[in-house]
Amino acid sequence: MTPVSARTTGTVRVVGTGLLGTSIGLGLSAIDVDVVLDDVSPSTLALAVDYGAGRRTGEADAPALVVVAVPPDVVAAVVAAELARYPDAFVTDVASVKAGPLSALEAVGAATERYVGSHPMAGRERSGPIAARADLFLGRPWVITPHAGSTAGQSAILEGLALDLGAIPVRLPADRHDDAVAIVSHAPQLVSSLLAARLVDAPDHATDLAGQGLRDTTRIAGSDPALWVQILSANAARVLPVLSDLRDDLDAVLEALADPAAPGAQRALADVLAAGNDGVARIPGKHGVDLRTTTLTVLIDDRPGQLARLLTEIGELGVNLEDMRLEHSPGAPIGIVEVSVLPEAAGGLEADLDRRGWRVA
Amino acid sequence: MTPVSARTTGTVRVVGTGLLGTSIGLGLSAIDVDVVLDDVSPSTLALAVDYGAGRRTGEADAPALVVVAVPPDVVAAVVAAELARYPDAFVTDVASVKAGPLSALEAVGAATERYVGSHPMAGRERSGPIAARADLFLGRPWVITPHAGSTAGQSAILEGLALDLGAIPVRLPADRHDDAVAIVSHAPQLVSSLLAARLVDAPDHATDLAGQGLRDTTRIAGSDPALWVQILSANAARVLPVLSDLRDDLDAVLEALADPAAPGAQRALADVLAAGNDGVARIPGKHGVDLRTTTLTVLIDDRPGQLARLLTEIGELGVNLEDMRLEHSPGAPIGIVEVSVLPEAAGGLEADLDRRGWRVA
């Protein structure tokens, strides 16, 4: 990360030097923000300091911003303690669940007018300071959860922090954040664990055949159980309905598998698989199919200038490319170009390219 | 793929020019094997020929090997037809399920003494000839399923085919293959689809927070439903028990989520998450934790020669490295080295390195 001028001003105190806290310290230190660290574990703190995430907090230090990066079950207590210890500081936390801590703070009468929760959507299966990376948050959403008692200025401070760490700030009320992560993070964690658990007693000749599909679907099953028990317990009421719906669909699948020749069985399996296609299509970006564009596949000869010529002609046709992807197989004399355009432009473009002699598959 | 001398001799006929068939044709053509193609769909065949996967089959062609790469529901019929059409040819198929086709062939009295099934463990969410790649099989297991009526020489021919395409040949009886893929491929496909289906009605503010974990767990949910209905139906009896066990674990999770404060609820969640850890650890290679080695983490200064010095000293200590991984965070002044050694050597190495002044985390 090349040093840039930081939006974050003053001393930042990071409480809890695990994966997230140490990564935040590394990222801020890299752009010359003054970072002071603290952790209940002396060895974890020492490791984070050695790692370059910041210095130990001194008595004289008066942080402008305190970032609490501790396990979910103690986050409210630690935030309350920090608010009390530093009466002039603005405090945030980075816990994966947001509604609970806020109401807990309000319940104990903490100075929530100096607190706004946040949640960087970044992590690794590995935990602790040695897994930390200054670029952990690069390009990841960083959710900021304003509340009735907080100000736009406070949210702006956290947006600056997120931007300083290369993250993309997103404002969401705590409730909506918790609903969202139940679907995109907490349910997937449990499902991945449930699937990986099937491998425990699998014969070696089975696990030896593991391919990328199995590796991808079970990767996050390597996550820290202790941390996840806390996260899942804190958001249980929101994760429950998601997995209950999944269980209902699973029951339909089991019935179909029990007698695949029965009337409707094939249809039941097809429905689940098709719903999976539709679900993946909802994920923005390259990894999912983007419903906002239509993709045409054009075969081009593997000769210099062919791709340039295609793109030039698409430009001449007045069509704006939303996305473009070239795939070339080592063994093939031709290349595959996928051009994504707005749906309304696709039909005309296909006809025009065909008329100009391009092979549109 | 740089041309090498092929193990596969004579003309190879590929029946079915979808993703697998066309990829096989591309890979073999790249090493100058004579490949002839056929497909029930003229346009699919034309595309595969244009793509460079081989030439159309001529009347005079007498293939030594026929590779049937058609959908599971017609594989037995097509293999039987090829055995009858080419009395001197050896025939294989690449379908994802192996026991069914073999018994179907035996039932119709096909010349199974000239047939051995196989299954390259490779694929993509995308299908058809335009998704084909000559290197699709590189480093992937290619299962060969000998049977009572087949010879070692026939399995050797298929091993040559697999090696020619960069795959790793594995011999397994059809039944054991089908048991294995139920666990490592078919159940993961359904689970990924069931999870992705949760996104269909998710609000945009939820899908916008999608991270790598969700993308990985749902990637294969983008697979072709029509193909997978056939695969799952053909192996339903073996997939059913795997998913039934998963459903039982899921029920325990749902009960725990319904009342996370209840006695035993936290334990129930922890058990599933821990079992997930254990399951991932069963997957060989980098993507899982390899139980056969113990990994030590050593912090080194970010100075030239530090890593070399560490590895030299480990050598001096007479310890053999099973694996080594260097991780360096852009923001950190030090690097993290993970050295994997045999469990029995780990304790002594940690003590020795510590004595020599290395920082072993």
Measured between CB atoms, does B144 come within 8 Å of chain A?
A: no
Q: What is the pLDDT of residues A239-277, one digit of tens each?
A: 999 999 999 999 999 999 999 999 999 999 999 999 999
Interface of A with B in 85-124 (CB under 8 A): 121-123
Task: Tell me: pLDDT of A1 over 80.
Answer: no
pTM of the model: 0.79
Report the range of poorest mean pLDDT among A333-337, A341-345, B328-332: B328-332
Distance CA A171, CA A155 (A): 8
Distance CA A67, CA A94 (A): 7
Facing B191 at nearest CB: one of A217, A332, A361: A217
Angle at A158 between CA A156 and CA A161, to 5 degrees: 115
What SS3 state is found at A55? strand
Note the pLDDT of residue B286.
Answer: 39
Note the pLDDT of residue B347.
Answer: 86
Measured between CB atoms, does A134 come within 8 Å of chain B?
A: yes
Distant-in-sequence, close-in-space partners of B287: CB < 8 Å, separation ≥ 6:
A215, A219, B280
Averaged pLDDT, B201-211: 92
Q: What is the pLDDT of residues B99-134, one digit of tens each?
A: 999 999 999 999 999 999 999 998 877 788 888 998
Q: What percent of chain B has pLDDT over 90?
A: 69
Three-state SS string over B228-255 comes to: HHHHHHHCHHHHHHHHHHHHHHHHHHHH
Q: Tell me which residue has tokens 């009421």.
A: A237
Identity of the amino acid at B52: G
Closest CA to A137 of A47, A22, A282, A226: A22
Say how many residues make up chain B.
Answer: 361
Measured between CB atoms, does B276 come within 8 Å of chain A?
A: yes
Closest CA to A92 of A8, A3, A166, A32: A8
Burial class (CB in 10 A: 0-12, 13-18, 19+), B79: buried
Distance CA A337, CA A288 (A): 18
Q: What stretches of B56-173 show up as alpha helix (H) in DSSP?
A: 72-85, 99-107, 152-164
Measured between CB atoms, does A29 come within 8 Å of chain B?
A: yes
Separation in Å, CA of B267 to nearest CA in chain A: 8
Measured between CB atoms, does B270 come within 8 Å of chain A?
A: yes
Radius of gyration of chain A from Cα atoms? 25
Q: Tell me which residue has tokens 């994504």.
A: A340
Note the pLDDT of residue A287.
Answer: 34
Domains and their CATH numbers in chain B:
12-172 (3.40.50.720), 178-280 (1.10.3660.10), 294-360 (3.30.70.260)
Closest CA to A231 of A96, A65, A68, A64: A96
Separation in Å, CA of A117 to nearest CA in chain B: 16
Facing A334 at nearest CB: one of B52, B141, B245: B52
Averaged pLDDT, B281-297: 66
Q: What is the pLDDT of residues A25-49, one digit of tens each?
A: 999 999 999 999 999 999 999 999 9
Separation in Å, CA of A223 to nearest CA in chain B: 7
Say how many residues make up chain A.
Answer: 361
C-alpha separations of A124 from A18, A132, B32, B176 in Å: 11, 9, 45, 35
Radius of gyration of chain B from Cα atoms? 25
| DSSP-derived secondary structure for A63-120 | -SEEEE---HHHHHHHHHHHHHH-TT-EEEE--S--HHHHHHHHHTT--GGGB-EEEE
Separation in Å, CA of A87 to nearest CA in chain B: 31
Please, which residues bridge with residue B301 across strands?
B334
Measured between CB atoms, does A140 come within 8 Å of chain B?
A: yes
In the numeric block, which tokens belong to residue A256? Answer: 């179909």
Measured between CB atoms, does A326 come within 8 Å of chain B?
A: no
Closest CA to B348 of B320, B322, B317: B317
Contact B216 A213 (CB under 8 A): no
